Structure 1
Amino acid sequence: MKMIKKMLILIVMGFTLVATPSLSYAQTLSKGSTGNEVKTLQSRMKNAGYFHGPVTGYYGPLTKYAVANFQLATGIVPDGVAGPRTFGKLNDVEIMARVVNGEARGESYLGKVAVAAVILNRLEDSRFPKDTFNVVYQTNAFTAVHDGQYNISPNASAYRAAIDAMKGWDPTHGSIFYYNPHLASNNWIFSRPSVTRIGNHIFAK
């Protein structure tokens, strides 16, 4: 139901839906499960760098091992069972990786982690929504969402950066904004207290 609501929000806002299968928050997959949902799970785990076997649609030992390692990295009990919390984290990784790829493509790896960290910092700030989807799709929040770069398939470093930020790496020291001073057109952003500069981006609070 949550994913359906999010799809409707996208349509109302006029965005083009990314042709990437979403994992349902309601389902639970475990060793012995089969089907397209398992294929989607394996593909997502492969993108995130945790699943190294073929995408077969069968939830075997390799899939369980990958899920457990992903859970361990993202603060979930590593039981190897893919349930709502695991799917939620995987969907968050996908969203964050797409923002990182769109906003920091060409930046250093540190710069990619920094962009991901800003998303997570906004989740902790009362001025922003409380889930990754709504933080990213907030009006005018991220240029990549509005100019279509969000729809470009992320590369491996974008996924790694999203996960490293989830693990607690924050090169921005709590920043909730960033901008390229050579491209920014809104004078308001220049009024924000600067924290650090990484590559082409200044990070601010």
Structure 2
Amino acid sequence: MIVKRMMIASVAIACSLTFTSQVSAQSSTHTVKKGDSLYKIANQYGIPVQQLKEMNNIDRNEIHPDEQLDLPVLPSESEEDLLARLVEAEAKGEGYDGKVAVATVVLNRVSSDKYPDSIYGVIYDGYQFSPVLNGTINQPASEESKRAVEEALGYQGYDRESLFFYNPDKATSEFLSDQEVTTVIGDHVFLR
């Protein structure tokens, strides 16, 4: 009986560690080593060379040992699903471009020093997103929202500006009124 309980506890701990590691994709960096190239690093992380260059504002092809390169957010399946559900809840009724932009704001925040460094951390960071507060984040995402998240993941580095969005017909904020508008898509205003 004791052995059985110990086995059950061991399995529970192993599962807990497995799910925890799958939940938190983080913004990270790569330290360039001798022999590295942009091509090798991009292949190692499964990203296009141009995206790696854009993420790091590099317009050259050479890199140097000990240089720190920012990498795009590479979420687990569970974080990608969480982001798609947020996009669905926040941008329901908006066009596809608005959904991509909402996902991009979350990814920009993960890459920013001002916010938590994981998708989960950003989405559940206090009172940032109304779908977290009202529970609509628990509804399944549409195929369009899932595609929008995929596009935003591939778009990382090409637009690192917008950190906020809101619908001025539904919300007001003195803080947001002091921020610089980057674009307006549908009913959402995006700002930095």
TM over 0.5: yes
Equivalent position of 2:82 in the other structure: 95
Equivalent position of 1:203 in the other structure: 190
Matched residue type, 1:155? S
Q: Distance in 1 between matches of 2:15 and 2:115?
A: 20
Structure 1, gaps ≥5 residues long = 6-22, 28-74, 78-86
- Would the aligned equivalents of 2:100 and 2:149 in 1 still touch at CA under 8 Å? yes
Superposition RMSD on alpha carbons, in Å? 3.0
- Would the aligned equivalents of 1:172 and 1:203 in 2 still touch at CA under 8 Å? no
Aligned residue among 143, 165, 185 for 1:178: 165
Aligned residue among 12, 20, 24 for 2:19: 24
Please list the CA deviations of residues 171-195 of structure 1 after superposition, one character each: whole Å capped at 9, or x if unmatched. 9662000011111132221111111
Structure 2, gaps ≥5 residues long = 1-12, 23-44, 48-73
Query: Higher relative contact order by CA 8 Å / sep ≥ 6: 1 or 2?
Result: 2
Q: Does 1:139 align with 2:126?
A: yes
1:166 positional shift:
0.6
Q: Distance in 1 between matches of 2:91 and 2:80?
A: 15
Mark the CA change 1:136 to 1:120 in structure 2 (over 3 Å): closer, same or farther.
same
Which one has the largest radius of gyration?
Answer: 2
Matched residues, percent identical? Answer: 30
Say how many residue pairs are matched.
Answer: 133
- Would the aligned equivalents of 1:114 and 1:171 in 2 still touch at CA under 8 Å? no
Q: Distance in 1 between matches of 2:15 and 2:169?
A: 37
Aligned residue among 145, 155, 165 for 1:168: 155
Give the TM-score normalised by the residue count of structure 1.
0.57
Aligned residue among 113, 124, 131 for 1:126: 113
Matched residue type, 1:100? V
Mark the CA change 1:135 to 1:24 in structure 2 (over 3 Å): closer, same or farther.
same
Q: Which protein is richer in strand relative to its size?
A: 2
Give the TM-score normalised by the residue count of structure 2.
0.61
Q: Does 1:194 align with 2:181?
A: yes
